[in-house]
Structure 1
Amino acid sequence: MKKDIGTWLKDVLGIALGGLIFAFGLNYFIIANHLAEGGLTGVALTLHYLFGWPVGTTYLLMNVPLFVIGWRVLGTEFALKTVLGTAVASIGVDLTRAFQSPMPGDLLLASLYGGSAIGLGLGVIFLFGGSTGGGDIIARLVNHRWGWPMGRVLFLVDVVVITSVGFIFGRSVAMYTLVAVFVASRIIDFVQEGAYSARAAMIISEKSTEIAQRVLEELERGATVFSARGVYTDAEKNVLYCVVSRSELVRLKTLVYELDPRAFMIVNEVHEVLGEGFRNWHSS
């Protein structure tokens, strides 16, 4: 029971921290420089610029009907964490208005810094299982109802909002907003997947046993051998599969070439590896 409470408390604190980072980035860089955002955040910002409505309160109120639908369709746990993330972010935006600091003449830097801060905040929220509502709820509901990919739905929502921003405030604001949204998406991926990036290699060779032994001894990595049949030769062959860190890839290619210059090797980028020798499951 203590473990459950501890995990819950860690998630709450993580979501709260992410919400505050998001709020600070939105105020300090985006709102201060009259830029916009995608999703419902962009709608709230547009209403703020046009009518002076408080961004946080407006965003929170727009999410209320989505909370109700999301709770009924997607479950209680998701709804609770979404309410927490949205509430912290919304209240934080209104409370940190004093931190607005315009960057005269340099909207590119404002969009880059703003996108980075917002992406960091959202990434932390997502990392702890939370959500800030808005387009995220819409995407989940559409995915649940019609099976559309969430990424595509989020993209469509952003396109509609940013296009509207372009018509209302001009193409320049829309373009810098696109920069901020793009940077934020990359930072979100970075936070969720981590800076660590591994490589997965599939090696087809007549000397797969020798290669596996060298990988085990020199790289101290495990490997898995699959039996396969070549279509062209109709011959039985072994396929060696192993995962190494990015820095170990050159050593892997070198030892494969030394043992079998005719080996066929495929290398793929792996964004996350959990287990012995890589990232601990408890830190994911």
Structure 2
Amino acid sequence: MINAVLLEAEGRETGMKLRSSKIKEHIFDGVLFLLGSLLYAASVNIFTAPNNIAPGGLTGIATMLNYAFDLPIGTMILVMNIPLFIFGFLFFGYHFVIKTVVATILSSVVIDATAGIMPAYTGQPLITVVFGGLFAGLGLALILMRGGTTGGTELAANLLAIRFPHLSLGKLIMVLDVIVVLISAVVYREFEGPLYAVLVIFITSRVIDAVLYGTSLGTGKMMFIISPKNKEIAQEILTKMERGVTELKSRGSYSGAEGEVLLCAVRRPEVYKVYHLIHELDPDAFIIVGDAGEITGEGFREISIPSHRKKSRR
């Protein structure tokens, strides 16, 4: 009887700790989403929109609508994302979309709320491109760091991947961004803006990779994945990422249950893509990511063996 009471009390205490941990996690998510939204809004309101730069995605389309019809950029981003949210819920479920919905609403509101406050910069194009890409990259990286996105091309690419499974997410996002940039050349009737947009997109992607995964080019990441859906996850990584996956036999120390752990080696910029693939299939999957000092072999750096020549005797 006493043991039962103690176990019940211990269970309640554990539950309270878990709820407290979840609340802290949600607060931290909100803080980083807000900070990321402010940085992203600075990129749009200070640098790209005032200089007729449509940096791909729905933000680029919203920037063009603002130019042509004086419609608020943030509101247009949110409105265009609504159909994507609906399809995302239908195809991927609540867990995959919810943080994207929150981050998109917050960033859209912040963009419109700060549009009349942040000063527009229309000076040197180089400064516009560099800082526009830098601020956008930092802002998006903070949002991605907590498992969110700002919707747009990334969510659209995930939906298109259902219809075109042979194309990677990276290629689909690139195609969508290129289409938006080409349309901007027609809307603005100039080629400078689209060329600057390409540079902004490039800088943004580089900054995101640097913040999330570091800057070392010769290293990679090891991912250990534990999930009831290991088979499906391994197949997705093989087909969509074209990365090999190894199954390691495992046994739980406490439960004694037999199972498998997936081991996958990837490049740093690919980590978040694998995260998304796993999250689509199992939002509760247990994932461990570790640094790999060097990865050699197919798909990575070639094995380099220095040749030693014998010195000729004289």
Q: Distance in 1 between matches of 2:63 and 2:213?
A: 29
Distance 1:4 1:261, change over 3 A: farther
Q: 2:181 touches 2:197 (CA, 8 Å); kept in 1?
A: yes
Q: How far apart are 1:142 and its partner, in Å? A: 1.6
Question: Once the two structures are superposed, what CA deviation does each residue of 1:42-61 show, in whole Å capped at 9, x if it has no partner?
Answer: 11000000010000011111
Which one of 54, 70, 73 corresponds to residue 88 of structure 2? 70
Aligned partner (choices 155, 159, 168) of residue 141 of structure 1: 159
Contact 2:53 2:60 in 1 (8 A): no
**AA matched with 1:171:** F
| Aligned residue among 192, 199, 205 for 1:185 | 205
TM norm structure 2: 0.62
For 1:164, the equivalent position in structure 2 comes to 183
Bigger mean CA offset, 57-66 vs 24-33? 24-33
Moved more, 183-192 or 16-25: 16-25
* Counterpart for residue 131 of structure 1: 149
- 2:51 touches 2:193 (CA, 8 Å); kept in 1? no
Aligned position for 2:128: 110
Is the 1:28–1:99 contact (alpha carbons within 8 Å) kept by the matching residues of 2? yes
State how far apart, in whole Å, the 2-side matches of 1:40 and 1:120 are: 18
Written as runs of structure 1 = structure 2, the 5 A alignment for 1:87-106 is 87-97=105-115, 98-104=117-123, 106=124
Change (3 A) 1:67 1:199: closer
Kindly provide the amino acid, as one letter, of the partner of residue 166 in structure 1: A
* Cα RMSD for the two superposed structures: 2.2
Does residue 9 in structure 1 map to residue 27 in structure 2? yes
**1:99 is paired with a residue of what secondary structure?**
coil
Name 1:250's counterpart in structure 2: none
Provide the C-alpha distance between the structure 2 equivalents of 1:83 and 1:199, rounded to a whole number of angstroms.
33
Percent identity over paired residues: 32
Instruction: Report the CA distance between 1:126 and its aligned residue.
Output: 0.8
Structure 1 position 55 matched with structure 2 position 47? no
Q: Deviations over 1:107-166 (max 9, x none)?
A: 222011101100111111111100101111111112234323111111010111100111
Query: CA shift at 1:189, angstroms?
Result: 0.9
Unaligned runs of 5+ in 1: 201-241, 246-255, 263-284
Look up the match of 2:195.
175
Cα contact 1:198–1:243 (8 A) shared by 2: no
How do 1:210-225 residues align onto structure 2 when only pairs under 5 Å count?
none
Change (3 A) 1:16 1:77: farther
Change (3 A) 1:72 1:197: same
The one-letter code of the counterpart of 2:41 is: A
Inter-partner Cα distance in structure 1 for 2:194 and 2:54: 7
Q: Tell me the equivalent position of 1:31.
A: 49
Identify the range of structure 1 (63-72 vs 16-25) with the bigger mean alpha-carbon deviation: 16-25
1:260-275 alignment runs, 5 A limit: none
